[in-house]
Each structure stands twice: as C-alpha cells, then as structure tokens.
Amino acid sequence: RMNQELLKELRELNKLFEPKKRYGMAAIEVPRSILKGWGVHQKVPHITLAYFNCLNDYQLNKIARVLQSVAAQTKPFEIKTIGQDWLGPEKDTRVVLVHPSEDIMRFRQIICHAIESVLPDIVDKKFPEYKPHITIGKIGEINPELQTDCSFKIDTLIGGIKDEDTYKIKLS
C-alpha cells in the first residue's frame, strides 16, 4: 500500500519536470476594429487555419519559413461572417461563424499541404471538419442579440505558438 502511494507521488513529481507541450498555429488576423464594433475584446483576434502538434524550435522555424512563403504568394481577400454558434466539447464557447468561401478554404489547404510537405504528420487533425470561426467568448460573456454579420478584408497571417509567442506576416 505504501509503495502505491509513493508511486503516485513520484508520478505527480515527474509531471513537474516534463517539458510543456507546445502547439503551433497558423491563423488569419481579424482587425481589432471589427471586434470593437461588436463590443468584444480578444487578445489576438483571429480565425484559426490549423494547429500543429508538439513543436521544437527546428519545427517552429520550418513552419515560419513555410508561412512566409505562402503569404508572399497570397493576395488579401474578403471574409464574410454569417451568424453565431456555440462550439467546444461543452458547447460553452461563443463563436462568430465565417463563410467557408473558396478563398479561405483554399488558403487553409495550401498552408496545410505546404507544412505537411516539409514536416509530415505535424498538422493536428483532431477537428476533421474545418469550421472557420472567430471565438468571441464563453457562456455569460456575450449578449445573444449581438449583431455580428459583416464583411472585411484580411491581409495578415499569424503564426507561432498557441497562447505564447506569435508573429504576423502580411499577405502580398
């Protein structure tokens, strides 16, 4: 019995020394003025295009080069928002849905293929059906009557580590 408790404590201690998993992301920047118009504040307003599994510095640098290359070959394009929904395992995250236009779907596909070509199996596939959206809050934070339908031009790609270091790249 003593050994079981000791083993449990050792496992807990081990967790403290395990390197924190870092997830990369590629996203489209949403102009702050759009969210301000909705009365919503997000630290980095964005539309996620893809997440990348467990990254080291070598992989992060490779992804940054790929994103720069794709951005250099992509012209800014129009985004249209089309209503709201609740997402997440608990359906407690309020999002503004983005029309899955040919532009955004192709842009995402180009990024994923380009990254997979240099780092196979790094693109996270836990969301097999891509639903472009802008996260705006949790239950209780957002007025359900909020009008969010609009159109705007996007011209900036965001890359980096989710919830940590990010960088911006202008589309050409």
Instruction: Give 21-73 pLDDT, tens digit per residue.
Output: 678 899 999 998 998 888 887 888 899 999 998 778 888 889 999 999 999 99
Over the range 49-63, which residues count as b (16 or more CB within 10 Å of their CB) and which as e? bbbbbebeeebbeeb
Q: Which amino acid is at 62?
A: K
Q: What is the pLDDT of residues 1-26, one digit of tens each?
A: 667 788 888 777 776 766 666 788 99
Mean pLDDT for the stretch of residues 63-89: 93
Residue 87's pLDDT is 87
d(CA 169, CA 123): 20
Give, as one character, the DSSP assignment of residue 43: S
d(CA 41, CA 32): 8
Q: Global pTM? A: 0.82
**96 close to 80: Cβ distance less than 8 angstroms:** no
Look over the chain and give the mean of its residue pLDDT values, rounded to a whole number: 87
Q: Using 50, 70 and 90 to split pLDDT, how confident is the model at 168?
A: very high
Place of tokens 């307003």: 45
* Neighbour tally for 160: CB within 10 Å: 21
Token reading at 95? 């999002």
Report the DSSP beta bridge partners of residue 166: 160
* Phi-psi category of residue 121: left, alpha or beta, with phi > 0 → left and psi -120 to 50 → alpha: left
Q: Is the pLDDT of residue 82 over 90?
A: yes
Q: Using 50, 70 and 90 to split pLDDT, how confident is the model at 98?
A: very high
**Residue 28 burial (CB < 10 Å; 0-12/13-18/19+)?**
buried
Q: Is the pLDDT of residue 119 over 90?
A: yes
Q: Phi first, then psi: what are they for 167, rounded to 5°?
A: -135, 160
